[in-house]
Amino acid sequence: MVRRTGRRPGNPDTRATILAAARTTFAERGFDKASIRAIAATAGVDPALVHHYFGSKNTLFLAAMNAPADPAEVLRTVLAGDPDQIGERLIRAFLGIWDSPAGTSAVALLRSAVSNEWTARLLREFLTTQVLRRVLDHLEVDPAQAPLRGSLVASQLFGLAMARYVIRLEPIATAAPETLVDSVGPTMQRYLTAPLDGQVGPPSRGHRVCSSHEA
């Protein structure tokens, strides 16, 4: 029998080892600086085996996060259509995932992030690189304003999730999704595209400011 070297045999234990190494590497280095090679080294496997199990770094990250949905698929609908309504579409999609059976893993992740710094790092990386970056790049916001806009959007999403799914604050906990979309959507839109107080610069694409001749 020929003995193979350089990688672990393909089995569930190997997959679990890769996922554990990925969580550690993503938490320590962040999504952008983490590499398949570094994750493979931490797991003690050949990089080709990581590709065999997960295909790409992005797919591996979603698996490591136990993400309830693929943001790329969800955001395809969110980013389509009128930019002035993207805030409402983002809230609607967010609630659609969290209110579904898949939302159970999202709630567990949020609960863990509150008390576990490693999980909090992963959650920040997930929201920043997989959601906010895609939305802000699509809107072509001023790069100088992007971090603040992204943080404001995140505060709205996490705050809503905590109130509705963890603390279960009424009437938010049992409100109809469209009620929350109508209430929170405009605030989300302002964070994404409206001028920010104290900051001067051109408006983001999708937000039109009237000139003095139009007022």
Within this chain, do residues 78 and 58 fall inside the same structural domain, yes or no? no
Within this chain, do residues 52 and 89 fall inside the same structural domain, yes or no? no
DSSP string, 143-210: TTTHHHHHHHHHHHHHHHHIIIIIS--TTGGGS-HHHHHHHHHHHHHHHHHSPPTT--SPPPTT----
Q: How far does CA 123 lie from the centroid of its chain? A: 7
Within this chain, do residues 54 and 81 fall inside the same structural domain, yes or no? no
Within this chain, do residues 45 and 75 fall inside the same structural domain, yes or no? no
Question: Quick one: which of 86, 77, 79 has its CA closest to 190?
Answer: 86
Q: Are 211 and 203 in contact (CB under 8 A)?
A: no
| Domain of 138, in residue numbers | 71-193
Count of structural domains, the chain: 2
Within this chain, do residues 168 and 81 fall inside the same structural domain, yes or no? yes
Residue 200 lies in a domain: no
- Model's pTM, two decimal places? 0.80
Residue 6 lies in a domain: no
pLDDT in tens, the chain (215 residues): 434 444 444 566 999 999 999 999 999 999 999 999 999 999 999 999 999 999 999 999 999 988 888 999 999 999 998 999 999 999 999 999 999 998 999 999 999 999 999 899 999 999 999 999 999 999 999 999 999 999 999 999 999 999 999 999 999 999 999 999 999 999 999 999 999 875 544 444 444 333 333 33
